[in-house]
Every structure is written in C-alpha cells, then in structure tokens.
C-alpha cells in the first residue's frame, strides 16, 4: 500500500529502517524461515507414527491409487461429484482437490520411498503446520510493517518470536484436532486464510484476479470462508490503527487494499449465497453430513468455549486423557534442549532490533481478536462442538484449531512487547510440555489391537510381499479388520468392508499390480 505510507505521521512510530538493518535483511529472514520449520517439528515429531483414523484409514490408499499416475482426474472428479456432495450438505470442489492431492502426496512417499502411509500422512501434516507458521509470520509483518517492501528490512521482534507461540499450540487435543485428523487439509486451509489477509494488506493493485479469488474461496470449504472477513478487518485495522489514517480519508477509501477487500466480496457473495440457500433447502429434512451442518441453537453458548480452547494448558489434559503430561522422559528433555537452542539463536538475532510500537501492537492485537472470534464462531455452529461445550469440555481440538492457535499466538506476542527473553522462556517451556502431551497421546492411542492393525496394513502396502505367505498375512489382516468392524458396530459393517477392499486394492494394484488380498470378493 504505497499511498497510505506517504501520509504516515511521524509520531505514529519508527518507519525508517537503519542502514545496518538494510544491509543485513536477508540473513534474519532466512533464519526466521528456518525457525518456522524447525520449531513446529520439535513439538510435532512425537506424533510421526500416529495411527491413521476415521476416513484416513481408507482415503490415503483410495485417492493415492486413483490419482498418483493420473493427477488430471482430480479436478474432473471434484466437479463431477458436486451434486452428490451438495446432497450431503457441503460445497467444497476446490477443497476436495487439495484434500485428495495431499492424500496422493502421502501415498507418493509410500510409492517412491517405501514409507508407510501412516508416517506419510504425518509428514504431510507437519509440512502443513510449517506452511501455517510461515503464513502467520507473513501476516504479522504485513499488518505491522510500515515500509513499502514487506521483506525490505529484518522482521519485527513479534514475528521472530511467533513460531514458538504457534508451536506450543500444536497439541493433539483429542481425535478431532487438526494435529490428528485432516491436518494437511485444515492447516493448509488456515494458511490460505492468513495468506489472503496478508496479501490484502500489502496489495498494490486489485482487479479481476481478486474477484476470481473471492469466488474460489466460496468453493473451497467452510474454513476458507473466513478469509474474506479477516482480510477486510486486517485492511481496515492496519489503515486506521497502524498507519493512523482516517476511516473516510481518500487514501483509505481509494487505496488498493480497500479495493482488494471489496473485490473479494464481489467474487465471494454470488457463489456463497446461492450455494448456502441450496444446501439449506436440501438439508431441511435432515440427513446431511454433521461435520458441515449448521446448528444455531447452541452456538452462543459454545462460542466462549471455542475462544478459550486454543490455550495450551487447556489442550494438554485433552491430549493426555486428564492430568499433566509426563515430563520425566526422553522426548520432553530432547524437545527442551532443541527449543532452548532455537530460542538462544532467536535472541542473538534480536539484539538492537526495534520492538512494535503501541499502534502496531494494537493493530496486530485487533486482527488477532477478529480472527479468534471468526474461528470460534465457525466452530460453535457445529452440533458436535456444541455438545462438547455443553459438557464443559475445554481445550478440545476441531477444524478451527489452527486458526485459533495463530490468533492466540498473535495476541500474546502483540500484548507482550517487552521482556522478550522472559516470553521466549515461557514459550519454550510450553512447547516442551506440548511435545510431552503429544507423546502421551501417541502412546495412549497405540495401545490395543486397533492401531496395530492399521499400522501393519500400512507396512504391508509399503513393503508388498508377492509370495503366498505375504498374501496370507494380508488376508489375515483383512479378517482382523472385519472382526474389529463387527465388534464396533455389533454386526458386520458391509460398507466399511467394501471401502477397505476397494481402497487397498487400488493402492496395491498401483504399486505392485496385484490385489491386497486374493481371497476377498471381487
């Protein structure tokens, strides 16, 4: 936004960049990108062998088998199945392309590197968490920096500390948490929401491409809807609070960022409104997918619960099943050492760097609060989330967890501007406990027959044995799956058995040209 920068009053804050900072711009940013990758990995690594659950048990094999060598089928299938999914209550053609592509990427690790699918799914999810952290850093700088070029000076202190705050919130807070289920999809979508808002704040021009972007967000998924109001709020708060412009000044109303936000709405609403009306009509009699169905009755009561559930101390008991994580173990000790080294590296790079002034901190806190309300509102419209809130369950993860964690982290670094070493110490300790909580969650879910079964299936697919002994092992795993499915549903769940056979046959035919189990019905 070049027009706004020209009229920034001198008292609004330090807009000039010292010569030493201009000369050493590349190195601080490079170090920050490394920390955006390494800090979340330290906290998430205990989950690397987590057993796939829910639809992931089948989708990674089914989608990988379908699209690994035929990726052009992705958009065709997404468009062709729109009527089918509208009947179920959602409209996500672009989001499904992303979801299926991520499943295919996880399957590709099995095909090319022999990595079992359960680990491949975690690798994809970890990569999405890194992308989310990068997007959060870019948004923080886009909102607070007054310089014309976003990366034209070293990042702010708040941006440098932000990866530690986000990593502390990457907790496996229950089976619905984005660190456990569909992490690749919803963490990447959360990064998209943040990226659109950052783009809006720093837009230099706005045209037809922005209208197309707005329409694409309406066809992505429900979480992506939040990009439009967040971008609008970020643009207005940056202009009024950070840059000190009047609400109705020509610089504000005619600026490219305001036009960007307006054109997003122009593209978004013509797709969003008729689709939601159509879904409302088709779901009026019930029977729609509960994950995307809107429940208004308990939304107001669930909103405070969702706005508080991003706090790591509330998520830790959800990961451990109650109580504090076990800290006297190798994983927490190694996590503490790794995070301490990264924090020391961060502090060394912050010497002499200016902190956010009051206007910048207030603007960033305002954007964080808007994001927290938006994410909490979306989650509170879900019936399952409302049931958890009514039962007094705090800290449970859901699809909004990635955005809520970023919102809370932005709020923390905006409000805690001074005594950065103290803040980093607190965040390092919180990240250590979060890593321990993730280890406890993995250990708890690894007990029993169910996780062993799906981990063995993933290993058999990755290291496909063509001998009769290998086929016998795989058929034994199929029989165990049927037995487990029967026990869980008080009778054979024929649909699950059919999904099992279809998805695994697709996978093994793609990898080895043979069926998973030759004794299964064709």
Which residue is associated with the tokens 């299938």?
A: 77
Please tell me the number of Cα atoms within 13 Å of 302 on its side-chain side.
25
Q: 51 in helix, strand or coil?
A: coil
Token pair in block for residue 51: 């057993």
Per-residue pLDDT tens, the chain, 522 aa: give them: 334 443 444 444 444 444 444 445 668 889 999 999 999 999 999 999 998 888 888 999 999 999 999 999 999 999 999 888 888 888 899 999 999 999 999 999 999 999 999 999 999 999 999 999 999 999 999 999 998 888 888 899 999 999 999 999 999 998 889 999 999 999 999 999 999 999 999 988 888 999 999 999 999 999 999 999 999 999 999 999 998 887 776 766 778 899 999 999 999 999 999 998 888 887 777 777 777 777 777 888 889 999 999 999 999 999 998 888 988 889 999 999 999 999 999 998 887 677 888 999 999 999 999 999 999 999 999 888 888 888 888 889 899 999 999 999 999 999 988 888 999 999 999 999 999 999 999 988 877 667 788 889 999 999 998 999 999 999 999 988 888 876 665 556 788 888 899 999 999 999 988 999 988 887
Token pair in block for residue 427: 């965040």
| Rounded distance between C-alpha atoms, residue 135 and residue 119, angstroms | 24
Confidence (pLDDT) at 86: 85
| Rounded distance between C-alpha atoms, residue 102 and residue 106, angstroms | 6
| Rounded distance between C-alpha atoms, residue 453 and residue 132, angstroms | 32
Q: Give yes or no for a contact between 355 and 157, defined as CB atoms under 8 angstroms apart.
A: yes
Token pair in block for residue 101: 């592509």
Confidence (pLDDT) at 20: 40
DSSP string, 338-401: HHHHHHHHHHHHTTTPPPP-HHHHHHHHHHHHHHHHHHHHHHHTSHHHHHHHHTT--S---TTH
> Which residue, among 431, 419, 427, has the nearest Cα to 350 in the 3D structure?
419
């Amino acid at each position: 936004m070049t027009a706004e920068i020209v009229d920034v009053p001198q008292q609004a804050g330090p807009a000039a960049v010292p010569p030493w900072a201009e000369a050493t711009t590349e190195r601080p940013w490079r170090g920050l990108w490394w920390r955006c990758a390494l800090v979340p990995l330290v906290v998430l690594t205990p989950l690397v062998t987590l057993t796939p659950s829910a639809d992931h048990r089948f989708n990674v094999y089914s989608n990988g088998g379908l699209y690994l060598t035929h990726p052009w089928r992705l958009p065709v299938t997404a468009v062709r199945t729109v009527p089918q999914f509208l009947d179920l209550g959602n409209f996500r053609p672009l989001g499904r392309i992303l979801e299926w592509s991520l499943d295919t990427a996880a399957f590709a690790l099995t095909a090319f590197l022999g990595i079992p699918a359960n680990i491949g799914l975690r690798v994809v999810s970890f990569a999405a968490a890194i992308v989310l952290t990068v997007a959060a850093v870019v948004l923080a700088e886009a909102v607070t920096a007054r310089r014309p070029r976003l990366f034209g000076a070293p990042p702010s202190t708040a941006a440098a500390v932000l990866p530690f705050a986000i990593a502390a919130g990457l907790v496996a807070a229950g089976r619905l948490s984005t660190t456990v289920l569909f992490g690749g999809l919803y963490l990447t979508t959360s990064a998209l929401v943040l990226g659109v808002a950052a783009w809006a704040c720093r837009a230099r021009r706005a045209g037809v491409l922005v209208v197309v972007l707005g329409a694409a967000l309406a066809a992505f998924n429900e979480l992506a809807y939040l990009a439009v109001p967040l971008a609008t709020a970020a643009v207005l708060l940056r202009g009024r609070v950070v840059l000190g412009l009047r609400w109705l000044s020509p610089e504000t109303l005619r600026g490219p960022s305001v036009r960007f936000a307006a054109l997003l709405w122009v593209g978004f609403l013509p797709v969003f409104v008729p689709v939601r009306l159509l879904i409302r009509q088709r779901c009026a009699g019930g029977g729609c997918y509960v994950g995307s169905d809107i429940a208004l009755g308990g939304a107001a009561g669930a909103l405070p619960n969702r706005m508080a559930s991003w706090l790591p101390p509330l998520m830790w008991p959800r990961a451990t099943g109650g109580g504090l994580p076990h800290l006297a173990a190798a994983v927490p000790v190694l996590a503490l050492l790794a995070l301490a080294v990264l924090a020391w590296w961060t502090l060394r790079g912050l010497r002499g760097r200016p902190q956010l002034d009051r206007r910048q901190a207030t603007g960033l806190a305002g954007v964080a609060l808007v994001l927290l309300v938006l994410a909490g509102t979306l989650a509170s419209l879900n019936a399952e989330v409302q049931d958890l809130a009514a039962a007094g369950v705090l800290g449970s993860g859901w699809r909004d967890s990635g955005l809520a964690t970023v919102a809370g982290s932005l709020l923390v670094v905006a409000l805690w501007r001074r005594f950065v070493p103290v803040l980093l110490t607190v965040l390092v300790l919180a990240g250590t406990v979060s890593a321990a909580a993730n280890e406890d969650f993995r250990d708890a879910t690894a007990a029993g027959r169910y996780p062993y079964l799906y981990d063995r299936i993933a290993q058999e697919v990755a290291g496909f044995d063509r001998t009769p002994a290998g086929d016998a092992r795989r058929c034994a795993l199929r029989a165990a799956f049927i037995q487990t499915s029967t026990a869980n549903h008080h009778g054979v769940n024929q649909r699950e058995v059919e999904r099992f056979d279809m998805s695994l046959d697709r996978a093994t035919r793609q990898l080895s040209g043979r069926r998973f189990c030759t004794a299964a019905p064709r």
